[in-house]
Amino acid sequence: MEVTEIENILKQALELSFVKVQGDGSHFQVIAVGDCFAELSRIKRQQAVYAPLNSQIADGSIHALTIKTFTEEQWQRDKKLLFPDLA
């Protein structure tokens, strides 16, 4: 599965202002930013990202997925420290 496919699935399913997927083969890392995460617990945020990718996880296209979610405010505050290459 290509990273652009995962990015497109997430953009269509969630109201994200920024999404970045990295990885190769079937192991991927996702950074998702959107105010849709504002009132959600960490577990609910993870579930929100997993849900649109369930069929790809079930068929083995995605074997491992690491997810980091941020609201807009959190992203603006943390991106320079956590992800200087994206700032």
Q: pLDDT, tens digit, for every residue of 11-52?
A: 999 999 999 999 988 899 999 999 999 999 999 999 999 999
pTM of the model: 0.91
- The amino acid at residue 25 is G
Question: Residue 29 has what pLDDT?
Answer: 96
Fold of the CATH domain 3-82: GMP Synthetase; Chain A, domain 3 (3.30.300)
What does the domain layout of the chain look like in residue ranges? 3-82
